[in-house]
Chain A
Amino acid sequence: METGGRLADGPFERHQTAWLASHAVDYRQIYVDRKGFRFVRSIAAIRRCFPAFRRKLPEAVDRRETMTPLMLDIRKLRKSFGDLVAVNDVSFTVAAGELVGLLGPNGAGKTTTVSMITGLIRPDSGAVLVEGAPLGGDTDPKKHRIGLVPQDLALYDELSAYANLRFFGALYNLTGKALDDAINAALTLVGLADRGRDAVRTFSGGMKRRLNLAAGLLHNPDILLLDEPTVGVDPQSRNAIFDNLEELKARGKALLYTTHYMEEAERLADRIVVIDHGRVVADDTLSGMRRLAPAGVAGAHVSLEAVFLSLTGRSLRD
């Protein structure tokens, strides 16, 4: 089923849009095909439109109801840089114990979205809700509940792993024994407890990646934003990071995972949000995403990459 244009702008459509808004359905999920037939592309959106479907489709679980509480709620975020609209009304959610994969081609708006969630960039409009409350300014205490694992190895190579974590912990006002305990726990989780006193510059790429993850976890955040956390690491370290993420998920953390690696999203993500040209073009479970594959290839074994390419196209972006 090929996508057509967005919902037309007639009187009926305006009425329909109002209805969708009143039922908390993302209006952008409604599309019009070439014959003028309106359809909802996302299975999740169908479920939200028609609650009865939830009972008929046992595998289609609405995480809004089952994975409470909802930790992160992104609502209609928008950000422009001059004439370029980098992020355009992006909305999605991440519940506790859920890992949401945020996918998109280069320049799609993923990093800008993550930057707005962490407060690095102020959105032009929209809101970031942390457990229902909007995230405020630089010193908002709710930032304690968010941890960031940036794509860059954001570490001081000159310092030891312990000194790095000590500094990052202090930024969240951790001191004394609480800080020491947090450092030891984080180092143990990522398997670096015996290298804590060594300078980071002596670490391998994989060890640095794991320490990068530990730095984001130090203050025990409820929400963890991971921006391509496995770039440039060997399979062993990647699997170790995956194990860490599985454990964090099991502890009830809400994880937003940005990646270009489809197999990582397939393995880890409970739900996948695809962004392209600054907009959310799909938001569904893996099985739901597979149903969006091009006609003739859809099925249980269709790859996420095929779905991704069908949603975002094959033209190069950079």
Chain B
Amino acid sequence: MALTQILAMVRKDLQVYYSDRRSVIMSFVAPIAIASFLGAVTGGRGAPAEPAKIPIAVVDQDGSTVTKAIVSAVQADKSLQVTTPTAEGAREAVKRGDVTVAVIIPAGFGQASGLAFFGGGAKPDVSVLYDPSHRAEMGLVRGLMTQHVMEAVSREMFGGGSGRQLVDQTLQNLDQNRMPDGQRAMLRELLTSAQKFYTQTPETETADRPRGISLPYALIEEAVTSGNDVPYNGYAHSFAGMGIQFLLFAMIDMGVGILLERQRGLWKRLRSAPISRTSLLVGKALSSSVIALAVLLAAFLFAGIVFGVRVQGSLVGFLAVSAGCALMAATFGLLIASIGKTPGGSRGVASLAVLLMVMLGGAWMPTFIFPAWLQRVTVVVPTRWAVDGLDAMTWRGLGIGAAVMPTLALIGFAVLFGSLALARFRWEEA
């Protein structure tokens, strides 16, 4: 291989690339802009911002002590933004998308829920209207409602006036209940003990401590990052993802550039020169790698200066993963050039391939939200290794050992793409 020829090709490709303003903007400005936005909405830097509240509507058609307590608890919940329209208004609000979930508590809920609480009565129906495009939020609201209803009903049953009445009433009707004798005896014992509790404990005495059922634990949350005092920086992941996406886009330009060279007769001039095929491909791959690496490092440099993203793990590991990304992307560009027929058609197909790769690789959204089978399948996507490797070296703060597998995987993909490109490259043309 002739070094002079290869270096000339690299210099020429860089000159051509940087003379195209559109390519430069697409490669450097676009990833920074999009990653900045994504980073801001996925946690930003430092402590995570207060999460957006889920808008829900609660319709209390009962107005009992229990249901009023439920509405109050829901309104006090930090995760929810609560309105209290009529039933018709709630349905319309869901239909318009103004609220995600509407909970309609029917008349008689307070008494029926108390009877059902002790197992003797029929369970009242609570209608839940939800926006089908917000299924995940529906699950969260269901959980919160369960917590608040259980707390309110149990509090009333174990201390409220209506609870005392219900215990007395249940004891009176216990003989008519069809439950097995042994079970009935145990329930009678429980309710009798509750009656004693009510008789011996005035309501005022329990006012300062929780009554009824409550969560039997307290949550201590800790975000595990690279260190005790290092907060999670959402920009680290978003810049990794967008950096990889746009360096792949840059490589589409490089691959299409080779097709344009062929179309414009430049390839004939290159091939007529005394330069080997290996040197031609190495020169192209090298210039592409330099551009790809520049795109990625420029994105992280910006993220470091503006958003405080740091390589908390191994710097050598970070550079190794970045170099692996660049090499993989460069050979991907060569593959486009080798299998593409026309510049326009190749650009379209290659763009689709890149979007699929970055989507499945977790560049847009974390892979943990994928189904389990998809998480396993995405290990065959090079971008998955790239994103995971960069995450490991930045905000996760892992050592160089964590960079080895992603780097090797990326080099493996580079060898695969390069071999396919070499096998499919059209060297001859009339």
Contacts and interface: CB of A to CB of B under 8 A. Distances in A.
Given A154-B269, A156-B16, A173 B430 contact: no
B15 A143 contact: no
Interface string A158-169: 110001001110
Interface in B258-273: 264-266, 268-273
A121 B9 CA distance: 22
B374 interface: no
Contact of A143 (B4, B11, B265, B273): B273
Interface string A124-152: 00000000000000111101101010111
Contacts of B20: 158
Given A138-B277, A143-B274, A170 B265 contact: no
B274 A144 contact: yes
Given A115-B429, A158-B15, A163-B12, A148 B275 contact: no
A115 B265 contact: no
Contact of A151 (B7, B8, B265): B265
Interface in B358-403: none
Contact of A175 (B4, B12, B266, B271): B4
Given A86-B430, A158-B19, A163-B15, A150 B269 contact: yes
B401 to A, nearest CB: 42
B27 to A, nearest CB: 15
Contacts of B275: 138-139, 171
Contacts of B277: 138
B45 to A, nearest CB: 39
Nearest to A169: B8
B2 interface: yes
Nearest to A109: B430
Interface in B1-36: 2, 4-5, 7-9, 11-12, 15-16, 19-20
B4 A173 contact: yes
A154 B273 contact: no
Given A148-B269, A167-B8, A171-B270, A159 B19 contact: yes
Given A120-B271, A171-B270, A115 B430 contact: yes
B268 A167 contact: no
Nearest to A142: B274
B3 to A, nearest CB: 10
Given A121-B429, A138-B277, A152 B268 contact: yes
A226 B8 CA distance: 25
B274 A215 contact: no
A155 B272 CA distance: 14
Interface residues of A, number: 39
Contact of A152 (B264, B271, B428): B264
Contact of B272 (A148, A156, A175): A148
Interface in A199-241: 199, 215-216
A50 interface: no
A165 B294 CA distance: 27
A112 interface: yes
A158 B14 CA distance: 11
Given A146-B272, A171-B5, A154 B265 contact: yes
Nearest to B270: A171
A118 B2 contact: no
A161 to B, nearest CB: 13
Nearest to B20: A158
Interface string A167-184: 110111101000000000
B411 to A, nearest CB: 27
Interface string B271-284: 11111110000000
Nearest to B263: A152
Given A156-B266, A158-B20, A159-B12, A121 B430 contact: yes
A249 interface: no
Interface string B284-295: 000000000000
B430 A138 contact: no
A150 B276 contact: no
A139 B273 CA distance: 8
A298 interface: no
A153 interface: yes
A119 interface: yes
Contact of A111 (B4, B12, B264, B430): B430
Contacts of A156: 12, 16, 266
A115 to B, nearest CB: 5
B265 A153 contact: yes
Nearest to A144: B274
A156 B266 CA distance: 8
Contacts of B430: 81, 86, 111-112, 115, 120-121
Nearest to A170: B8
Contacts of A122: 428
A3 to B, nearest CB: 28
Contact of B16 (A112, A140, A159, A215): A159
A120 B2 contact: no
A199 B4 CA distance: 24
A35 B19 CA distance: 68
Given A138-B276, A139-B274, A171-B270, 6 more contacts: A81-B430, A111-B430, A119-B272, A153-B264, A158-B16, A170-B5
Interface of B: 2, 4-5, 7-9, 11-12, 15-16, 19-20, 264-266, 268-277, 428-430
27 contacts: A115-B268, A115-B429, A115-B430, A119-B272, A120-B272, A120-B428, A120-B430, A121-B430, A122-B428, A138-B274, A146-B272, A148-B268, A151-B265, A152-B264, A154-B264, A154-B268, A156-B16, A159-B15, A163-B15, A167-B12, A168-B273, A170-B5, A171-B270, A172-B273, A172-B274, A173-B2, A216-B269
The 9 A-B pairs of least Cβ separation, nearest first, read A152-B265, A170-B8, A171-B273, A143-B274, A118-B272, A154-B265, A158-B19, A148-B272, A167-B12
